[in-house]
Amino acid sequence: MANNLGVWAVHLLTASGAAIALVAAVAAVNAQWQIVFLCLGIALIVDGIDGPIARRLSVRERVPWFDGEILDLVIDYTTYVLVPAMVLSMSGLVTQPWATAAGIVIAVVGALYFADTRMKTPEQAFRGFPAVWNAVVFQLMVYKFPQPVTLAIVVTFAVLTFLPVEFVHPLRVKRLRPITFAMAVAWAVLAILCLVENLNPGPVILTLFSIVNIYFALVGVFLQITRRRSA
């Protein structure tokens, strides 16, 4: 056991996402949206670092009977899907019963996506919208579109979940990786600025955020098309 303390520390790091999700859920119930998205941002960081650490320590080989990938999927569903669904249901962006219905769509569609073994392409892109509802709901909270637009966006991404449209992974897809990584950093910085402004940023931040979001919405399709043309 002592020889595998590092392994269990990594699994505990992953599992800490459950605690972070609970704090976010409690904050959502109390309409403390800054705390909600701060927690989801921390969870995103944890999700980004636990995998590389686990591979470096060879956790699967050292404790083969404990599946860290399943643990990671459980935590990811909670922070990427379930809590954002709660936020949309309770935020007031959409009136009832549409708010609850939209939350249910996110929760169900997200669950189905996490069970899809074809979610990754050979290039390590995502096949279909990759259930990053935390990012989508965060932006809906920032932009505060009219209700029909908000519902249309939710439906659009729900449908894209099941279509063979690719979305880029900011680190694992090699083509255009420097640009994509820079855009991911820009997205993170702009998100922090939005939090500082209590989800009410000025037009400059909103415009820059829109540019970055358009890039991530289209770059996967661009790489998909160019790959097919060169095949």
Cβ atoms within 10 Å of 35's Cβ, excluding its own: 16
Task: Report pTM.
Answer: 0.92
DSSP assigned state of 118: T
| Rounded distance between C-alpha atoms, residue 108 and residue 201, angstroms | 31
- φ, ψ at 127 (rounded to 5°): -95, 110
> Would you state the pLDDT for residue 231?
65
State how far the alpha carbon of 3 is from the alpha carbons of 6, 61, 157, in Å. 8, 13, 45
> Within a 10 A sphere around the Cβ of 227, how many other Cβ atoms?
15
Beta strand spans in the chain (E): 126-127, 166-167
Residue 91 near residue 34, CB atoms below 8 Å: no
Count of other CB atoms within 10 angstroms of residue 182: 13
pLDDT of residue 21: 97
- Please give the DSSP secondary-structure letter assigned to residue 47: H
Helix (H, G, I), strand (E, B) or coil at 49: helix
Helix (H, G, I), strand (E, B) or coil at 120: strand
d(CA 8, CA 75) in angstroms, rounded, equals 16
Pairing of strands 126-127, 166-167: antiparallel
Cα–Cα distance, 143 to 170 (Å, whole number)? 23
pLDDT given for residue 119 in this prediction: 85
Check residue 3 and give its pLDDT: 66
pLDDT in the model for residue 146: 96
Nearest CA among 147, 135, 136, 134 for reference residue 93: 147
Residue partners of 145: CB distance under 8 A and separation at least 6: 93, 153
DSSP state of 167: E
Q: What is the mean pLDDT of each run of 10 residues along the chain (231 residues)?
A: 75 94 97 96 91 83 85 94 97 96 97 89 91 96 96 97 92 91 95 95 95 94 87 65
